[in-house]
Amino acid sequence: MHMLYDSDSFVVVHMQPDADLSGEEKSAAQPTVPQLPRHGFEIVDKRSGKEVYLDGSWAEMFQMQILEWQRNTPTQEEVEDTLDGYVGLAQNPVLVH
């Protein structure tokens, strides 16, 4: 998990597939379970208290937006306007466990 953005209105977190955290090297004798590494982005709208998780093609489109932001540094207002466009997808209330 990697926080990409945090403001008064939004938080954006990049959720990355777990790496092998054991630190052990796998031998050829150890069978591996095939896993589909997936990543996604969680966007939390602090104003409404809702979040949306983008994965699949939505995550790919958002990743392209991030790469564009890296090439042409946007203003905070431009970033917030883009994130505000995703607010309509946010249906899940943020819950603290």
Q: pTM for this one?
A: 0.74
Distance from C-alpha of 40 to C-alpha of 44, rounded to nearest angstrom: 13
Q: Which residues pair with 14 in a beta bridge?
A: 2, 41
Taking only the tens place, the pLDDT of each residue in 17-51 is 765 554 555 555 555 665 666 789 999 999 988 89
What total of structural domains would you count in the chain?
1
Do the domain assignments include residue 61? Answer: yes
Task: Please compute the mean of the pLDDT values over residues 4-13 and round it to a whole number.
Answer: 94
Its domain, for residue 66, covers 2-15+38-93
Which of 7, 16, 20 has its CA nearest to residue 59?
16
Distance from C-alpha of 9 to C-alpha of 94, rounded to nearest angstrom: 14
